[in-house]
Amino acid sequence: MERGARHIVLVGRNGIVPEDGQATLTAMRAAGARVEILAADAPSRADPGGDA
């Protein structure tokens, strides 16, 4: 984070960081980044219009 972003927002459908991403999230925070994890109603790539 020395020369990069200090405030990061990660957005996904459920707002949960997968188990394999926890180490990266921890490292980013340890390096001084403020990381927010948010849930949003995002359409899938198969349905970019979001029509269900």
Write out pLDDT tens, residues 39-48. 998 677 777 6
Q: Using an 8 Å Cβ cutoff, are 33 and 6 in contact?
A: yes
Write out the H or E segment, with its range, that includes residue 42: none
At residue 3 the predicted structure's pLDDT band, cuts being 50, 70 and 90, is confident
Take residue 6 and report the two structure tokens written for it: 């200090």
Which has more confidence, 11 or 44? 11
Report the sign of the C-alpha dihedral through residues 29, 34, 39, 42, in that order: negative
Q: Which phi and psi (to 5°) does residue 40 adopt?
A: -145, 155
Q: Using an 8 Å Cβ cutoff, are 28 and 4 in contact?
A: no
pTM higher than 0.85: no
Take residue 27 and report the two structure tokens written for it: 């490292």
